[in-house]
Each structure stands twice: as C-alpha cells, then as structure tokens.
Amino acid sequence: MFDFGVDQAAGLRLEAQARHGGPALMPLASPAMPSRGFEWLCRLAMDLTEAGQRVVVIDACATERGDSGGLSHALADAGVVNLGADARPGDPTDWLVMPAAQGLQSLLATAAAAGADTALTRLFAPFAAGALLLLYAPAQMLASLLGGVKARVMVPVVPQPQASIDAYGALKWLHGAGLHPVLAPLEAQPQVLANVVDCARRHLELKAPVWARPAWGQRVPDAALVCADAPAFVPYRSPARGAHAGAAIPFWS
C-alpha cells in the first residue's frame, strides 16, 4: 500500500518514524542543468540538519567512481548498512553525500521489472533508521522510479534563466506519473513562481502546493516516504501517519 504523509500531526517528526526501523525518503527533482540547483539542495540539507534530521544526499546527477562511496556500491554490497547513522543532527555542515547515477539506473531496472515497492526496498536497505534520504534526480527518472507511489516530490524554483521552464516541465512529468509535486522556491522572483503555478493550473489542472523555505524543516520530514512491515489485515498505527491497514508486504506512507 502506498501513500504519502498527509496527517501533519504537530510534533511528530522523523524520530517517531525511526522507531519503525527504517529511513525516510524525499525525492527532489533536479533542474535541466543540475548544477543550478546545488545551492538550493545545500540550503535544504542545511535546514533539515539544523532541524535535527540525519540527512543523506543521494545525488543521481553525479556518477560513482572507484570501489566504494556511491549508491551503486551500497546496493551491490549487502555488508554496507546503517549509512547515515553517524551524522550529527544540529550541525548544518554534517551530512553524507553519495554519487548515485549508476545506482539509480539499477533501481530503475528493478522498478521496471518488479515494481516501485521492490525498488524502494532496495534503496532503503543500506541506510540507518532515522536517516532522511534526499534523492536528487531528473523528474523523468523519479517518475519512472516512483510511478504508482503517491509520493511528494520537491521541485526547486531557483533564480536562473530557465526557472519557470524547468519547474513546469518537472511538474508535468511528476503529475503525469501520479506523483504529488510541490514547488519549493529559493530566492525566486514572485512572478516566476506565479507563472509556474498558473501554467500548472491551466494546462495540467494541477493546484501545485508551494513550500516556502521557513517551512522546509517541518514539512519535509512530515511528508517523506517511510516503510514499515505489519501483519496482513491487522490495523496498524504509525505515530507519524495515524492509523492504516496493515500489510504483509512493505508498507509505504
């Protein structure tokens, strides 16, 4: 069963989710030129770390090199576990960054062959409980990986020449895959943001939410994907998401 966080209960953060034994995931749609989103990505990671999260940046716009340190290596080596456990919440300069271009291609193949649930289970396996994974990747790839999962995906709106084109293009891909994109502006011109919102409403029939930066530290953990196992058909209550029907397979919320 797939769903994204909509409960928004006050005071419930990733610490509560961690008691269910897994990390959490927030997908991030990279601009057409990923480097133009790096400042936005760093600001987001800093804000979340300052808010007490153990942040892991999974950069699918960077290619793994060597024999270790990247997502592809972590996926291939069952001995790699608890990544992100050593991060120091509250230190805005301390988060793990992993290149992940090859690893994402592997996950896309898994999703195509066995579905998004299996791909997400593979993605989560190397990471520590309580880790907040920020998967930075092109919107088209996120749509292929997460198709059928009602996940929130953050779409940056940054001060660069193609800001509105990039943001609208990402909304189109993600909305078309059944995902739930949200706009996350950083120092963007108000008119640019307004144009993106208006185009999405008129052409996609999508009312795109906007998350202002001061709210990122709360909204991202609240809306991140989490996984927990529960017995089949047994009512299950997540402290971060409220009551849900249990399932024998991984439960995503």
CA atoms of 24 and 18, how far apart (whole Å): 8
Confirm whether 70 is domain-assigned: yes
Confirm whether 58 is domain-assigned: yes
Q: Is 52 exposed, middle or buried (0-12, 13-18, 19+ CB in 10 A)?
A: middle
Position 67 scores a pLDDT of 84
Confirm whether 121 is domain-assigned: yes
Could you tell me if 115 and 148 are in contact, meaning their C-beta atoms sit under 8 angstroms apart?
yes
Q: What mean pLDDT do residues 177-183 have?
A: 96
Confirm whether 190 is domain-assigned: yes
Position 104 scores a pLDDT of 98
Position 252 scores a pLDDT of 60
Check which CATH number belongs to the domain holding 150 and give it: 3.40.50
Q: What mean pLDDT do residues 209-223 have?
A: 95
The C-alpha angle with vertex 226 and arms to 158 and 56, in degrees rounded to 5, equals 50
Q: What mean pLDDT do residues 47-67 have?
A: 94
pLDDT digits (tens, 9 = 90+) for 72-91: 999 999 999 999 988 777 67
Confirm whether 166 is domain-assigned: yes
99 or 88, which is more confident? 99
Position 5 scores a pLDDT of 44
CA atoms of 27 and 143, how far apart (whole Å): 10
**DSSP 3-state of 159:** coil
215 or 4, which is more confident? 215
Q: What is the C-alpha radius of gyration for the chain, rounded to an integer number of angstroms?
A: 17
42 pLDDT above the threshold of 90: yes
Model confidence at 189, pLDDT cuts 50, 70, 90, reads confident
Confirm whether 187 is domain-assigned: yes
Which range has the top average pLDDT, 56-60, 87-91, 159-163, 230-234? 56-60
Full domain range(s) for residue 99: 14-252
Position 170 scores a pLDDT of 97
Confirm whether 199 is domain-assigned: yes
Q: How many domains does the chain have?
A: 1
Position 89 scores a pLDDT of 72
Mark residue 228 as left, alpha or beta (left: phi above 0; alpha: psi -120 to 50; beta: remaining): beta
Confirm whether 143 is domain-assigned: yes
Mean pLDDT (the chain) is 83
